[in-house]
Amino acid sequence: MKTKITLLLAALFIGLNIGFAQQDEECMTKLSIFHEYVKAQNFDAAYQPWMDVRKKCPQFNNAIYIDGEKILTDKIEKSTGADKAAAINDLIKLWAERGEHFPDKTPKGEYGAQSCQLMYDNRALLNKTNEELYACFDAVYKEDKATFTNPQSLYTYFSLMVDLFDAGKKTAEDLFNKYDDIVEKVEDEVKNYSESLNVLIEKEAAGTELTNTEGQYKVYYESYLSNYDLIASGIDEKMGTRANCDILIPLYQKNFEDNKMNADWLQSAMNMMYQKECTDDPLFVKIVEQKNSIAPDANTAFYVGVLKDKQGKSNEAIAFYKQAIDLETDNFKKSNLNNKIALKLKAKGSYGQARTFFREALRLNPSNGRPYLSIAAMYAASANDCGDTNFNKRAVYWLAADEAQKAARVDSKLSSASANSAANYLSKAPSKAEVFSSGRSGETIKIGCWIGASVKVP
């Protein structure tokens, strides 16, 4: 009978893909007991056999740590005061033990950030200061930046830097450097998830149905991209007016001579001044020219284009914009460049040129639907100029609505914005009654001027 039980337990854990570090029958039995309790969500009953295995056989099986996290999380949710603080600290300790005994299954950046975030979320209870919390995140980020990818933790990390700056415990340069670092990290993660999502979107566009697994991955990628979009906005909101031209320009002027041969510093300064619209200052020109002289690349070509634009040299600006695109080898970054150039052209009213760049941005990164919304807005803005009759002018809004609706089809986080825009445009198009009275239902209308497209009357 004893042999049968042992064999039964072994078969059970093989079925669960659980391997054993050592064959300890007592640990095997108690692991089976607490695992079954956890599956039944009877965490109180699971606690003691789990603790026995955790203490006696910490290297026995990773289920100790997977189930242990659930047991302690339940204890945290049910307790208050000192008991809750003890459970929180024990969970942090458990993650550290997991890293010690199963390092290959415990990415330091991921689990370290979880620990810091748990402390931050319970900072009042644990009596943690902002300095202690920032030091926690900073140490993890520097040790394993690659797996420090949780959007919430990235935001918390930066938010703490801002709080320390406001308290006079971090310098403006510390703040700007960390802002640049975190923004770049977020962009890298958006790039990774976008590239994975693009494969699935392109498969769907080709008429191939996604498998169940692929569908699940698509939802997963879209969810992370939505979260990164939120924290990107949150980071900029948190930064607020702490980085404005009155602060940036004196700081960069002061540090320029010491950093004029440092391409990374020059790039960071250019990025920040461009983002905060400090491009009218002579220092921006000086930094761009210096960066272009020591390390010309796609970024500097783009900024030279910005300078040419400001000088009213539109043709030269376009040439530098195209040079920037040619110099960029990464498709995701190339898509972002096309979108940035298109937005500048859109702001100038050069809609035809802007659409060309927006379309290229979509081709290179089809999971970003924002260019569709920009094209829709340009169509709507041109309605009065691109039709020969009142009916035909308002027909342009059907085109605009169609472009807006495309955004939601490829980019789930834009569903609300897409629906609102489309509804707004359709409200300005000819009504059903007007279509009926005109007798033009089903007719194809050719839209002139820069749009150069046709729309079918519904």
User: What pLDDT digit, counting tens, does each position of 177-202 carry?
Assistant: 999 999 999 999 999 999 999 999 99
Q: How confident is the model at residue 21 (pLDDT cuts 50, 70, 90)?
A: very low
**What stretch of H or E contains 447?**
strand 444-447
Indicate whether 9 pLDDT > 70: no
Residue entry with tokens 């859109």: 346
- In this predicted model, what pLDDT tens digit does every residue of 29-85 receive, in sequence order? 999 999 999 999 999 999 999 999 999 999 999 999 999 999 999 999 999 999 999
User: What pLDDT score was predicted for residue 387?
Assistant: 81
What does 161-193 look like in DSSP terms, one character per residue?
Answer: HHHHHHTTSS-HHHHHHHHHHHHHHHHHHHHHH
Q: Can you tell me the distance from the alpha carbon of 405 to that of 428, in angstroms, rounded to the nearest whole number?
A: 16
Q: How many CB atoms lie within 10 A of CB 411?
A: 26
- In this predicted model, what pLDDT tens digit does every residue of 126-142 receive, in sequence order? 999 999 999 999 999 99
Q: What is the mean pLDDT of residues 212-240?
A: 95
User: What pLDDT score was predicted for residue 22?
Assistant: 45
CB 385 within 8 A of CB 395: no
What's this model's pTM, rounded to 2 decimal places?
Answer: 0.86
Q: How confident is the model at residue 255 (pLDDT cuts 50, 70, 90)?
A: very high
User: What pLDDT score was predicted for residue 258?
Assistant: 95
User: What pLDDT score was predicted for residue 144?
Assistant: 97
Q: N- to C-terminal Cα distance for the chain?
A: 77
Q: How confident is the model at residue 413 (pLDDT cuts 50, 70, 90)?
A: very high
What's the mean pLDDT when you consider all of the chain? Answer: 92
User: What pLDDT score was predicted for residue 10?
Assistant: 47
User: What pLDDT score was predicted for residue 439?
Assistant: 87
